[in-house]
């Protein structure tokens, strides 16, 4: 099930007010809300976003280099994609930008279509990341609800054992296994073993601990 997310947002980080205004109008023309920030220090004081976000970041700004801004934002918890804008076709700039996590680099002068395409691709990527993270949190929380015995049963279900084989392994009756299995499915929000496996994968870290705790 898709996880509902807040409306996407775009930050335009450029010290040139005219360029910032032009990019805001461009993005508004395709229904995207953009906020122009002219100061790198102002941008870095913002909290890391929780909605799908893209940052259009100019490289050469007097206050601070755009790539350095991106690197510092990453260290502050920003995981949103950056699209770097540059007026100089410098290979070193491109290499550093991509090493620092930029998903695209656009040289000036650029076309409006080129910018819109890059931003939309970045927002789609960020939406997918946030949805995956939300599913992982949900999966981990569901796993935490299981009792120790239910975790045992879960691990054996994932290994493909039948109810009889699980009963023999755990030294309990098949009927008790059926009860535990039913509770596991209910708590994990799964309707089949295949769906159960997907739920466990979504809770990756917690799932690893569950499986590591099982013997044999």
Q: What is the pLDDT of residues 151-173, one digit of tens each?
A: 999 989 988 899 999 999 999 99
- In this prediction, residue 37 has a pLDDT band, given cuts at 50, 70 and 90, of very high
| 30 Cβ neighbours under 8 A, 6+ residues apart | 116, 120
Express each pLDDT in 172-192 by its tens digit: 999 999 999 999 999 988 888
Q: State the Cα angle at 124 between 122 and 128, rounded to 5°.
A: 115
Task: Please say whether the beta carbons of 105 and 94 come within 8 A.
Answer: yes
Terminal alpha carbon distance of the chain: 33
Helices 112-144 and 204-212: crossing angle in degrees, nearest 10, is: 30
pLDDT value for 203: 54
Mean pLDDT is lowest, of 49-63, 145-159, 190-204, for: 190-204
pLDDT value for 7: 73
pLDDT value for 106: 92
Q: Which residue has the higher pLDDT, 7 or 106?
A: 106
Q: Which of 96, 88, 211 is nearest to 159 (CA)?
A: 211
Tell me the mean pLDDT in the region 119-138.
91
């Amino acid at each position: 099930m898709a996880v509902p997310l807040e409306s996407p947002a775009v930050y335009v980080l450029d010290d040139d007010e005219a360029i910032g205004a032009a990019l805001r109008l461009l993005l508004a023309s395709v229904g995207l809300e953009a906020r122009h920030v002219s100061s790198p220090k102002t941008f870095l004081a913002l909290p890391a976003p929780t909605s799908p976000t893209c940052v259009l970041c100019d490289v050469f700004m007097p206050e601070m280099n755009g790539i350095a801004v991106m690197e510092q934002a990453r260290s502050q918890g920003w995981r949103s994609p950056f699209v770097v804008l540059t007026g100089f076709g410098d290979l070193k700039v491109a290499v550093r930008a991509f090493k620092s996590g930029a998903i695209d680099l656009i040289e000036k002068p650029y076309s409006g279509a080129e910018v819109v395409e890059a931003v939309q691709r970045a927002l789609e990527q960020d939406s997918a990341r946030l949805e995956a993270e939300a599913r992982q949190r949900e999966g981990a929380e569901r796993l935490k609800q299981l009792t120790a015995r239910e975790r045992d049963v879960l691990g054996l279900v994932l290994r493909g054992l039948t109810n009889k084989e699980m009963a023999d392994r755990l030294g309990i009756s098949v009927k008790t296994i059926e009860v535990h299995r039913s509770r596991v499915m209910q708590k994990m929000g799964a309707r089949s073993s295949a769906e159960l496996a997907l739920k466990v994968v979504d809770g990756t870290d917690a799932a690893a601990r569950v499986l590591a705790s099982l013997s044999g």
